[in-house]
Amino acid sequence: MSARRIHVRISPVGEITVEADGFQGKGCEAATKAIEEALGKTRERTRKPDFWRQNNRHQNQQQLGEG
């Protein structure tokens, strides 16, 4: 697992970007929620491919037949 980081960037014109790295699924939104709320209304949200990946810790198994 890669290191988890939250990057907050402020452009010269005052636009703020919050980016989460190393999170999967909704973990990135949970990690940045407090920062986003403190900064005010979110204008745009872009989800990275990691958002759509399943967390591999939980696996479902099913056995069919008599084994």
Read off the pLDDT of each residue in 34-56 and give the average, rounded to a whole number: 78
Cα distance between residue 28 and residue 26, in whole Å: 5
Per-domain residue ranges of the chain: 5-51
Question: What are the structure tokens assigned to 4, written together?
Answer: 């988890």
pLDDT at 12: 94
pLDDT at 40: 86
- The structure tokens 């790295």 sit at 21
Question: What are the structure tokens assigned to 16, written together?
Answer: 């703020």
As a whole number, the mean pLDDT across the chain is 78
Read off the pLDDT of each residue in 41-67 and give the average, rounded to a whole number: 67
